[in-house]
Structure 1
Amino acid sequence: MTTTRALARVEHMTCAWFTSCMSLGGISNLLLSRIIDSDPLHRIGIALLILNMLYFVALLLLQVVRFTFTPARVGYTLSHPIECLFVPTIVLAAATILNGLAAVAGREVGSGVRTAFQVAFWGYFAAALVVSVVCYTSVWARAEGSMHHMNPAWVLPVFPLMLCGSVAVAVVPTQTEQSALNIAICGLTCQGLGYTVSCMMYAVLLLRLMTEGFPPARARPGLFMCCGPPAFTIICLLGLAQEMQRILPALPLPSLPASTYETLFISALAASILLWAVAAWFYLVTLAAIAAALLTERRNMQFILAWWAAVFPITGFASATNAIADALDSSPIKILAQIMVVVLAVVFVAIAAAHIHAVATAVIMAEGKDEDRLIDTMHRDAEKVPSAEGERETPPTYPNTPAVSVFRLERKLTA
């Protein structure tokens, strides 16, 4: 492949590629958490963590190449109604690495490592806040979406903030009481914000499904994204509840009765069980949608990067299931969590193979087939363009939609 052809492919290597990095990190963290208590699997988890860090750096370097040596521009990406939603996956991928490093470090760490994790958490929080505000502001300012375009990726800009909760759960055990308390408060606050915004998006998504039906066959695995918010909220609630007895005394309050911690934990457990049902319901609905597509539209099940939603959010679902199993000391639920880990490993390998095949056959990383493609609503500053024929059969949010916005293409090339 010549340099020119290689750069032409890299031009369309969008930020959505970081969903694969998130998924690799999620699998690594599952193995490191010892849901299946096995030393060999734990060592594989460490190896995957190292591989994920290298992969993350490689993706960052390729983005630098993309924005430096191809017509792709940061401004175009941040103003694009699809790719802008995937910019936060860069921060999410970093979160999986931070969680993995904390799992490897354990509770007993030196002062230098403790300080490093503290700085890393607050740095992550700042990055998550900035990315969330910038991406949503950019998308809303251009108003280039519609109910017909609605998809679970709309929630992605708030995901990094929401994962402050699970990052806090990973980092808090390494901290002193006062530092741990501050991190826990921040994590719980961000988790509440993220889950609240996600609930609002659930309402929009359900309205879209009721009025427009399921997404096209190839896009249906993206619905697994809906399992993430309740699952990561469970991880936050139960994880922080287990640390309360150690860190709450750092509050400037009178001594709390011993029953306070038990009450907090039981409340967190009750809320977690309710939230688990939400994640399980979305999981089953998505499985049904994919099964229907396989039966009736198998030829349309072409790989897109949204398929990675079948891995990363479900790693959170598996971890949440394991957390509930530990809280209830339930062997059946523990076995369910272990089965989920095995299934996820198989799904990860299958999607990774499909991803590699899609790159090799130019199904992705090609003009008009990725998250940076032009769609029919991107003519807000240009003349009105009639809708493409067959738009309702193939919503413009998804691949292979005819490009109709010459204005935005010219803007990209001249930026």
Structure 2
Amino acid sequence: MSENICSRAPYALALQVTQQSSIYFSARMRIREKKMKPREADEGSEEERPPAEVGLRDRLAHFTWPWFAATMSTGALAVVLGNTPNTFTGLRTIGKCFFIFDIILFLLFNGLMMTRFILVPRKIFASLHHPVEGLFFGTYWVSIALILNCAYIYGKAETGDWLNKGLEVTFWMYCAAAFIVGVAQYAMFFHLERLSVVDAVPAWIFPIYPLLVVGTLAGTILPGQSEDASWKMFVGGVFFQGLAWLVSFLIYGIYIQRLMTSNLPSPSVRPGMFVSVGPAGYTAAGMISLANQAPTLISANYWTDTTVPDGEIVRIIGIMTGLFIILFAYWFFFITAIVVLAGIGRMSFSLNWWAFIFPNAGLTLATIQAAKVLNSEGMKGIASALTILLVVMWLITAVFCIRAVYRGDVLWPGKDEDKSMERLAWGWRGNMGNPEARKIIQRISSPA
């Protein structure tokens, strides 16, 4: 018995040594794997890191829709300068210069966007429903509306009846296009994307934004139209403004939920929070502007048999509606201003900075309209102060924008709003012969 135990001892010892050795080497391999994983992640992040040097065509491949926020801001500023109550010699000329520059900038941006889509055709469809870039497609159409505004403000004295007829035709063309954009883009987002409420931003309103400026556009060009055309334009302006305001109001609720339950946006994109000022501002401005012209468009007993003319009733209702909304825009303005100032030390330039101008231009226009109907010198002074502030912010934003382009902080692979487009390489050069890039259109999410 003892001999059997002694004879088995070497085998047991050898088995124990083997087991311990295997445990040791397994532990070493796990440690090695843990050390290798960060390294592999680092190597992967290096591949995904924006390149240090790129060519012009690679930069143009990243000219995104948010760039039209610059033309939208320039046009909005020109409209404000053409309506501001306290004027001085040369102010109209300054406004006209902004208008001309806006047209040049808009044509240039159209050329750059066409170049981008020629270089990378797959980005045409991808850019329209991209969860970041796609939201800004509406800025293109708002830019057009503001150009039409300026065409009447600065061109009515130097042109003939052809301008009024042209504006009538383009007004309805614009309304049709803006309505299609508002329906089609939201339908694409509902079907193709899944946006999180914790990331809700006012930019979610942008697909309907082109209709938010229809009221102010109609109110501006109505005086030059014939009786029949102006009545139809008046009704259309009320219809489309109402649609845009209600859709915006629905998104306001989601945005407030995000602010109450999640973190604030990063400091660099906080200027985009000013977009929340625009819907209330432009709606108030549009309603008051249209209301002031109701007595000349609506006959005395069009709807009722009262002694008070129906046009005057509509005027009072429209003015009260605008005054009811305007302080809502100021509420968002002050909240956003406080939040932006709180993070100003950590703020770097992004195209969101253009939101310093165009939404607040709507607030300024609403203040101008309210000052007129209330005949308030104090409100006229506030409107003038806001106008000066808009000019200053436009100059600051323009300087920082040019600086960012020069330094490669924007319009650069991996640094723009399209950087997360799946299966699309950096730009023109990266997509040459890239078979995976063709699949971008096939990435259609199944219903949840």
- TM-score, reference length from structure 1: 0.86
Answer yes or no: is the 8 Å Cα contact 2:299–2:309 preserved in 1: no
* Aligned residue in 2 for 1:32: 82
* Aligned residue in 1 for 2:291: 241
One-letter identity of the residue aligned with 1:366:
W
Residue 357 (str. 1) matches residue 385 (str. 2): no
Residue 317 (str. 1) matches residue 363 (str. 2): yes
Answer yes or no: is the 8 Å Cα contact 1:235–1:323 preserved in 2: yes
Correspondent of 1:166 among 216, 222, 228: 216
Answer yes or no: is the 8 Å Cα contact 1:318–1:340 preserved in 2: yes
CA distance in 2, matches of 1:407, 1:200: 41
Larger Rg: 2
CA distance in 2, matches of 1:29, 1:340: 13
One-letter identity of the residue aligned with 2:357:
V
Q: Shift in Å at residue 71 of structure 1? A: 6.0
CA deviation vs aligned residue, 1:357-389 (integer Å, no higher than 9, x gap): 1111111112222111217xx69xxxxxxxxxx
* Aligned residue in 2 for 1:6: 56
CA deviation vs aligned residue, 1:374-405 (integer Å, no higher than 9, x gap): 17xx69xxxxxxxxxxxxxxxxxxxxxxxxxx
One-letter identity of the residue aligned with 1:200:
L
Answer yes or no: is the 8 Å Cα contact 2:129–2:193 preserved in 1: no
What SS class does the counterpart of residue 39 from structure 1 fall into? coil
Please give the residue correspondences for 1:112-261 in structure 2 after superposition, counting only pairs within 5 Å. Answer: 112-249=162-299, 257-261=307-311
Residue 51 (str. 1) matches residue 111 (str. 2): no
CA distance in 1, matches of 2:302, 2:320: 28
Residue 100 (str. 1) matches residue 146 (str. 2): no
Q: Shift in Å at residue 110 of structure 1? A: 4.0
Answer yes or no: is the 8 Å Cα contact 1:325–1:331 preserved in 2: yes
Q: 1:69 to 1:320 in 2, by over 3 A?
A: same
What SS class does the counterpart of residue 349 from structure 2 fall into? coil
* Aligned residue in 2 for 1:282: 332
Moved more, 127-136 or 280-289: 127-136
What's the % identity of the aligned pairs?
29
* Aligned residue in 2 for 1:411: 439
Correspondent of 1:327 among 373, 378, 402: 373
Residue 342 (str. 1) matches residue 388 (str. 2): yes
* Aligned residue in 2 for 1:399: none
Q: Which runs of 5+ in 2 are unaligned?
A: 1-52, 424-433, 444-448
* Aligned residue in 2 for 1:87: 137
CA deviation vs aligned residue, 1:346-365 (integer Å, no higher than 9, x gap): 11111111111111111111
Q: 1:206 to 1:340 in 2, by over 3 A?
A: same
Q: Which runs of 5+ in 1 are unaligned?
A: 380-405
Answer yes or no: is the 8 Å Cα contact 2:75–2:99 preserved in 1: yes
Answer yes or no: is the 8 Å Cα contact 1:107–1:173 preserved in 2: no
Residue 372 (str. 1) matches residue 422 (str. 2): no
* Aligned residue in 2 for 1:291: 341
CA distance in 1, matches of 2:272, 2:196: 18
Correspondent of 2:313 among 256, 263, 268: 263
What SS class does the counterpart of residue 90 from structure 2 fall into? helix
CA distance in 2, matches of 1:111, 1:182: 18
What SS class does the counterpart of residue 55 from structure 2 fall into? helix
Residue 42 (str. 1) matches residue 70 (str. 2): no
CA distance in 2, matches of 1:207, 1:30: 32
Q: Shift in Å at residue 111 of structure 1? A: 3.6
CA distance in 1, matches of 2:61, 2:88: 42
One-letter identity of the residue aligned with 1:132:
G
Q: 1:251 to 1:218 in 2, by over 3 A?
A: farther
Answer yes or no: is the 8 Å Cα contact 1:224–1:282 preserved in 2: yes
Correspondent of 2:350 among 279, 304, 309: 304
CA distance in 1, matches of 2:442, 2:400: 34
One-letter identity of the residue aligned with 2:371:
A
Correspondent of 2:111 among 55, 58, 61: 61
CA distance in 2, matches of 1:187, 1:132: 16
CA distance in 1, matches of 2:114, 2:243: 32
Q: 1:176 to 1:199 in 2, by over 3 A?
A: same
CA distance in 1, matches of 2:237, 2:143: 17
Q: 1:253 to 1:408 in 2, by over 3 A?
A: farther
Please give the residue correspondences for 1:372-391 in structure 2 after superposition, counting only pairs within 5 Å. Answer: 372-374=418-420
One-letter identity of the residue aligned with 2:178:
A
* Aligned residue in 2 for 1:395: none
RMSD: 2.6
One-letter identity of the residue aligned with 1:44:
I
Q: Shift in Å at residue 253 of structure 1? A: 5.9
Moved more, 110-119 or 213-222: 110-119
Q: 1:331 to 1:408 in 2, by over 3 A?
A: farther
CA distance in 2, matches of 1:264, 1:109: 32
Q: 1:333 to 1:101 in 2, by over 3 A?
A: same
Q: 1:230 to 1:244 in 2, by over 3 A?
A: same
Answer yes or no: is the 8 Å Cα contact 2:297–2:311 preserved in 1: no
Answer yes or no: is the 8 Å Cα contact 1:177–1:247 preserved in 2: yes
CA distance in 2, matches of 1:44, 1:157: 31
What SS class does the counterpart of residue 299 from structure 2 fall into? helix
